[in-house]
Structure 1
């Protein structure tokens, strides 16, 4: 990717707490990220949380973060921790881990 393409891009690390495992959160996050043209991954964490690392346009990452506060219908999100970082360009697609 060129430097110009990297401009306006960012990396977002999310930890989502609440009833977020066993409710289709990862699959919904995958669909949301794909719709927003983001790259990265989503996974369950042993402590019962869901972790998302995504890269793309800041605007689309903000939409993903807003979605994460709600999640899919069966989820009950109690907390979302957001960490904004510089884009690394290491991902070519979005995956469920």
Structure 2
């Protein structure tokens, strides 16, 4: 799959305690993106998305808004080679 990409995303703002991880999981599954999402100890949320470039970009754009009660201040993205993730999960 030469067109498969991977994005490592870190989201800051009010993104914990507002169902950000659950809605990220739901959006990723609807978009057909593989990967994971988790809370970081410093209050940010971290996610990895793997899939076709259009779907991954859709998820990165989605992260800028996130769940309805979130307030996103920043989304940082780093691209890397995909590692073959399958499915999408919430990590603890």
TM-score by length of 2: 0.96
Q: Report the number of matched residues.
A: 91
Structure 2 residue aligned with 1:46: 41
Q: Which runs of 4+ in 1 moved over 3 A?
A: none
| Unaligned stretches of 5+ residues in structure 1 | 1-5
Displacement of 1:84 in angstroms is: 1.1
Counterparts of residues 12-91 of structure 1 (less than 5 Å): 12-89=7-84, 91=85
Q: Which has the larger radius of gyration?
A: 1
Q: Deviations over 1:52-77 (max 9, x none)?
A: 01110010000000000001110000
| Unaligned stretches of 5+ residues in structure 2 | none
Separation (CA, whole Å) in 2 of partners of 1:57 and 1:49: 25
Tell me the C-alpha RMSD between the 2 structures. 0.6
Separation (CA, whole Å) in 1 of partners of 2:28 and 2:80: 17
1:92 aligns with 2:86: yes
